[in-house]
């Protein structure tokens, strides 16, 4: 069962509660338009990539983009509203009873939408506003200018509470042409320091194909 509300998808499947941030513009995110989106894992990087995966990492190759996936994370499950989802299916929460109760699995996702002429700054404010309107507990705790593949990007950290669990959400936004791409990392706050470097590394490795 999947419940959609503005800006969010809340799927519940196989006993795994998943909190998914899906960024939208005036509606819902473009979801796998042809319904046949697929990708594969490879240790081969794109020619434009300056980040080479370690032996334990893999680069997920899609028809449109590639991104480094953390070691051991699965890309077999694709959440609604995403182009790719990498999930830590072996994750457990011995020190976080609330996260353990809902069997939450940290994950990284990629999604996109049209810019409609908006700048990176305007898109960043729009995303933050939509999230705060949807989840009243959401608070932006950090925001910084970065680059992804030579393009200006914005990295955002948001703290929020859902299902009695404290989450920290990482969001990277980058514009390419008339589209903007969002790389999102979602994890219980108790796992934030462990997963933050993985989220940032994945975002920095994101490459679009010509």
Rg, Å, the chain Cα set:
16
95-104, pLDDT tens digit by residue? 999 999 989 9
Q: Are 127 and 138 contacting, i.e. CB atoms less than 8 angstroms apart?
A: no
Residues 6+ apart with CB under 8 A from 122: none
Average pLDDT for the chain: 77
Cβ atoms 48, 65 nearer than 8 A: no
Tokens of 204: 């920095």
The whole-angstrom separation of Cα 139 and Cα 80 is 24
Closest by CA to 106, choosing from 204, 184, 206, is 184
* pLDDT surpasses 70 at 16: no
> What pLDDT score was predicted for residue 54?
62
Strand partners, 207: 66
What CATH number was assigned to the domain covering residues 2-208? 3.40.1000.10
DSSP state of 182: E
Nearest partner of 38 among 69, 82, 84, judged by Cα: 84
- Segment 3-12 mean pLDDT: 31
Least confident of 11-15, 154-158, 185-189: 11-15
pLDDT band at 17 (very low <50, low <70, confident <90, very high): very low
Q: Match 């069997």 to its residue by tokens.
A: 103
Exposed e or buried b per residue across 42-61, where buried means at least 16 C-beta atoms within 10 angstroms of its C-beta: eeebbeebebebeeebbbbb
Condensed to tens digits (0 to 9), the pLDDT of residues 73-86 reads: 999 877 877 889 99
Question: How many beta carbons lie within 10 A of that of residue 160, not counting itself?
Answer: 22
Question: The whole model's pTM is what?
Answer: 0.78
Whole-number pLDDT of residue 80? 79
Query: What's the rounded Cα separation, in Å, for the pair 52 and 69?
Result: 12
Please give the residue that has the higher pLDDT: either 62 or 78: 62
Show the tokens assigned to 194.
């462990």
Model confidence over 123-180: pLDDT tens digits?
Answer: 999 998 888 888 888 999 999 999 999 999 999 999 999 888 999 999 999 999 999 9
Rounded distance between C-alpha atoms, residue 133 and residue 21, angstroms = 13
Which pair of tokens denotes residue 179? 């589209």
Residues 194-208, mean pLDDT to the nearest whole number = 96
pLDDT at residue 29, rounded to an integer = 30
To which H or E segment does residue 12 belong?
A: strand 8-13
Q: What is the pLDDT of residue 56?
A: 62
Residue 115's pLDDT is what?
Answer: 93
């Amino acid at each position: 069962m999947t419940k959609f509300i503005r800006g969010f998808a809340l799927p519940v499947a196989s006993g795994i509660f998943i909190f998914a941030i899906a960024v939208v513009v005036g509606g819902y995110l473009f979801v796998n338009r042809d319904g046949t989106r697929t990708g594969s894992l490879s240790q081969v990087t794109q020619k434009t990539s300056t980040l080479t995966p370690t032996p334990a990492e893999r680069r997920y190759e899609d028809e449109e983009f590639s991104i480094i996936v953390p070691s051991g994370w699965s890309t077999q499950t694709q959440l609604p509203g995403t182009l790719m989802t990498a999930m830590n299916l072996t994750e457990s929460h011995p020190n976080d009873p609330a996260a353990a109760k809902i069997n939450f699995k940290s994950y990284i996702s990629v999604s996109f939408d049209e810019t409609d002429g908006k700048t990176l700054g305007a898109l960043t404010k729009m995303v933050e506003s939509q999230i705060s309107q949807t989840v009243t507990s959401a608070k932006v705790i950090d925001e910084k200018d970065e680059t992804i593949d030579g393009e200006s990007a914005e990295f955002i950290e948001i703290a929020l509470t859902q299902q009695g669990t404290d989450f920290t959400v990482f969001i990277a936004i980058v514009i390419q042409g008339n589209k903007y791409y969002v790389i999102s990392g979602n994890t219980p706050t108790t796992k934030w320091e462990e997963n933050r470097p993985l989220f940032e590394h994945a975002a920095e490795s994101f490459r679009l194909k010509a």
